[in-house]
Structure formats: C-alpha cells, structure tokens
Amino acid sequence: MSGLLITNAQLGEAGTADVRIRGEQIAEIGSGLLARAGEKHIDAAGGALLPGLRDHHIHLMALAAARNSVCCGPPQVQDVETLADRLRAAAVAERGPGRWLRGVGYHESVAGWLDRADLDRIVPDHKIRIQHRSGALWILNSAALEALDVEPGAMPEGMERDGDGQPTGRLHRLDDWLRARIATGEPPDLSAVGAELAALGVTGLCDATAHNGASELAALEAAIRSGALPQRLLVMGGAELPPASHPRVRRHHRKLMLDEGHLPDPGELADEIAAAHAAGRGVAFHCVTRSELVLALAALEQAGPRPGDRVEHASVAPPDLVELLLDRGVRVVTQPGFLHSRGDAYLHDVEARDLPWLYRGRGFVEAGIPLAGSTDAPFGEPDPWAAMRAAVDRRSASGASLCPDEALTPEQALALFTTPLDRPGDAPSRIECGAVADLCLLDRSWHAARETLDGRCVRITIVGGEAVSGS
C-alpha cells in the first residue's frame, strides 16, 4: 500500500516528529522514520502539523453562486455610485437581458432600503435580484418581478406591497419560493470553492443551509464523488433531508430558522424539535438576536434537549442566557469573522445593552459552553484564518475595538476550527496513531504562525491521507 511520510513536523509542544500515514489513517509517529518503497515523502522542515481545519457552518451552493454574483455591499461597495457602476458593468457583460443578474452582500448603509424603483433607475432592462447580507431579504427590479409572473391575487406572504397593493420589489424570507420560480437547472460547480477551501487548510465542512433536501444532498454528494469538493461534509437541512450515502458525507441536524419579525409559537417550535429528536436528529437554531435565543431555549426546555443540539451564531448572549445554554447542554457555533467584516455596522446598529455580549469568545469558553468556529460563507469570507484573527483582535475593518474582554488566544481561536466536525466544541482532534489523517501542514512553526494567523502559511492540506492542496 502506498502512503505518505511527513518528517520533521512540529507536533504541538512535543517538538518535531515524523508522521507516517497509511491509507486514511496515521499509522506511526516517531523520529528517524525512513520512507518506504512507494511512499511519498514530505520534509516539513519544522513546519507545524495541525489537525485539518473544519468550517462548522457554511453554505456551499450559495458560496459558489456568490462567486458568480455582483458584490453589492461593504467593504467593497460603500455608496450608491459604486453600486450602480458594478451593476451596470455586470449588465453590460451579460450583453442581452436574458439571464438573471444576481447581487449579494447588500447592506442599507450603501443606499438605504432599496426598492424596485431604485433598481430600475440603475438597471432597467435586465432581470436583477440583490440579496441583503442577512440572507433574509431579496430586492428585485421591475423586469425581475415581471419575469416571476405572479398574479396580483397570488402574491406570497413576504412579498412586500405598497399602499396601492403593488409589489415594492422587496421579498422577505422567500428563498424557497424564489428558487422554485427561477429554475436554473444545473447545480453550481463546487470545484473552485473546494479548491479555495483546501488551500486554506480546510478538511471538513458543515453545510448549514436550512432548505437542504434530497436534491441538494445529491448535488453535494456528486461534488464529493467527483473530487470537486475534497473535504468531508456534514449536511444540515429540513425534515425531509434523507440520510447520506457517500462515506465522506453525513446527514446532520434539522436546521430551525428563527426570525425576530416572525417568531413561531413556542409550542409549535417544541413540536418540531421533538419530531427531529424522534427521527434521531439533533436541532440547530439560527439565533442572531436576544429574543430568538430566548425562544430557542424555551422551546428546547419544553421539548427536552438532546446532546449535540446547537445554536448557530448566538450573536447576542448575555450571562443569563449563557447559563441557560449551559443548563440545556447546547453547543454554540460562532462567526468571529463578522466582528471584522460587520463590526463597524454593529457599533452603529446594535443596541448598547447588547454590545458587551456580541459574538462572545472568552465568555463562552470560561462558562464551559462547547464553542466552535465557522465563517458562514458566503455571508462572511470563507477564510477561517481571518475568523481566527478576528477572534483574537476583535477589531472591525476600520480598526474599532469590540468588547476586547471577549478576546481569545491564538490557540483558543485555532481550537474553534480543529474541533471534530460532528462534535463541535469538543476538544480539538488529536494527531495520534489510528486517527484519520485529515491534516494541515504549515510552512512555519506554530510559534511563528500564531503571530499573523494568515492562511497563506498553509503549505499542504491532507484529507483521508491524500494531499488535496499544496505539495
């Protein structure tokens, strides 16, 4: 059997060692190991060998789509002129107005609460839809609304109307409805996303998309099978999500979206939780506000928690709610990268009483809450290193500080991303004999890497004993 020998790698505090990988597993750790016939040899030259990074909350299809979309928000787009330039350039590039133009990352700091008339002034002929960076809102121009061909009496709830009953172009939480109407046919190609993540050392992913069902799972499994996506994958989704069939893919929790504006009845939410648990699945709540978290915890109390239940974001977590999280045994999956990319807006928009409890780090760790990290790409950049940096320095893009008391050490920040994929927040995976060889080799020691936490220090990424990026 061929294999891989990594010599002279820094392994934690233990100094340097040689690591032999056979098949999918670490077979031997020692010193002075010699390469055998057919074995590939990598001299790590003292570079740190880390467990492969896991992004515990990402949206792969949306990330691939975003890579083919117009960026409409900060920091790249700060004002209406830049927005208009970018959208017009995209329309020109499309030549004819046949295909939909898709914008992402919009925030009202760019040009207020856009509506169809605003977009018509910028791009009148092409069908255009722009997603708010919260993911909760799409804004469409008139050409797009016309293409949807909705009878005036059949407008779905969530399609906002003006005083005359005409659609404003704003569609709230209508992703599923919109997707069904804009049949694009082929699922997006995930190979560029897979390669980008592999180059950053990412070996495991949890796709946290609420509407994942049989067809999304099939597309994700096809991407794994073809090698387009070289990582291991957990897939969250709806009640209908079937079990996975590929050995590198596993079905994960039922995702429950909570939306401050339309909070469900706690009893109904408890029923959904109980149904997921009865089906052998945990639940993952989307909670970005205080009241969403209160509701999730109340419903969980009613349904009875199951080990592994998790809260995504827990963006605002004051001490009384941290206590309840602990009491229910709930894991938290956080996105420290938002402190950097959205921090300036948070300082402006978030209520003063909530600011001390925003995307907490140290507070969760010290309370003993199992805490894992993620990027939530495409809503954040898919770079776990940028998220680690933000967890440590807690600074916005403009350099403003956000509750520095919540800062983590570089080691704690790394641990957010090296915790097991199916047990986020547990102790980081260990590099030991018999462990699955999902690894990330840096081009420098950890001592040097911890100073910058820059993804460019990733030299080789290994999944199941095979190098999927670097050499």
Quote the least distance from Cβ 314 to Zn ion, whole Å.
13
Name the segment binding Zn ion (CB under 5 A); options: 8-16, 185-193, 374-382, 394-402. 374-382
Torsion angle (degrees, nearest 10) of CA 351, 356, 361, 362 = -170
Helices (H) and strands (E) in the chain, counts: 17, 22
By C-beta, is 51 or 237 nearer to Zn ion?
Answer: 237
207 scored as a contact of Zn ion (CB under 5 A) = no
Name the segment binding Zn ion (CB under 5 A); options: 200-208, 277-285, 315-323, 332-340. 200-208
Task: Give the helix/strand (H/E) hosting 63.
Answer: helix 60-67
Quote the least distance from Cβ 260 to Zn ion, whole Å.
16
By C-beta, is 26 or 62 nearer to Zn ion?
Answer: 62
What is d(CA 149, CA 362) in angstroms, rounded to the nearest whole number? 51
Quote the least distance from Cβ 231 to Zn ion, whole Å.
17
What is d(CA 451, CA 393) in angstroms, rounded to the nearest whole number? 11
By C-beta, is 190 or 463 nearer to Zn ion?
Answer: 190
Contact criterion met (CB below 8 Å) for 104 and 131:
yes
Which residue in the shown chain puts its C-beta closest to Zn ion? 376
Name the segment binding Zn ion (CB under 5 A); options: 155-163, 212-220, 373-381, 394-402. 373-381
Quote the least distance from Cβ 392 to Zn ion, whole Å.
22
Name the segment binding Zn ion (CB under 5 A); options: 21-29, 203-211, 342-350, 419-427. 203-211
Restricted to residues 280-299, the positions that interact with Zn ion (CB under 5 A) are: none
By C-beta, is 284 or 324 nearer to Zn ion?
Answer: 284
Contact criterion met (CB below 8 Å) for 27 and 21:
yes
By C-beta, is 55 or 438 nearer to Zn ion?
Answer: 55
Binding mask 375-414 for Zn ion (x = CB under 5 A): -x--------------------------------------
By C-beta, is 110 or 208 nearer to Zn ion?
Answer: 208
Q: In what order do the strands lie in the sheet with 466-469?
A: 49-51, 439-442, 458-463, 466-469
Go through 97-135 and write b for each residue having 16 or more CB atoms within 10 A of its CB, e for each that does not: beebbbbbbbbeebbeebbbebbbebbeebbbbbbbbeb
Give the number of other Cβ atoms within 10 Å of residue 267's Cβ: 10
Query: Of the candidates 256, 258, 248, which has an alpha carbon nearest to the alpha carbon of residue 222?
Result: 248
By C-beta, is 221 or 376 nearer to Zn ion?
Answer: 376
Quote the least distance from Cβ 311 to Zn ion, whole Å.
12
Radius of gyration of the chain from its Cα atoms, rounded to whole angstroms: 23
What is d(CA 166, CA 159) in angstroms, rounded to the nearest whole number? 10
Applying CB under 5 A, what is the total number of residues that bind Zn ion?
2
What is d(CA 344, CA 210) in angstroms, rounded to the nearest whole number? 28
**End-to-end CA separation in angstroms for the chain:** 20
Name the segment binding Zn ion (CB under 5 A); options: 68-76, 201-209, 344-352, 359-367. 201-209
Query: Of the candidates 195, 202, 208, which has an alpha carbon nearest to the alpha carbon of residue 252?
Result: 208
By C-beta, is 141 or 335 nearer to Zn ion?
Answer: 335
Quote the least distance from Cβ 99 to Zn ion, whole Å.
26
What is d(CA 24, CA 192) in angstroms, rounded to the nearest whole number? 24
Quote the least distance from Cβ 379 to Zn ion, whole Å.
6
Quote the least distance from Cβ 165 to Zn ion, whole Å.
33
Name the segment binding Zn ion (CB under 5 A); options: 18-26, 205-213, 256-264, 391-399. 205-213
Residues that bind Zn ion (CB under 5 A): 208, 376
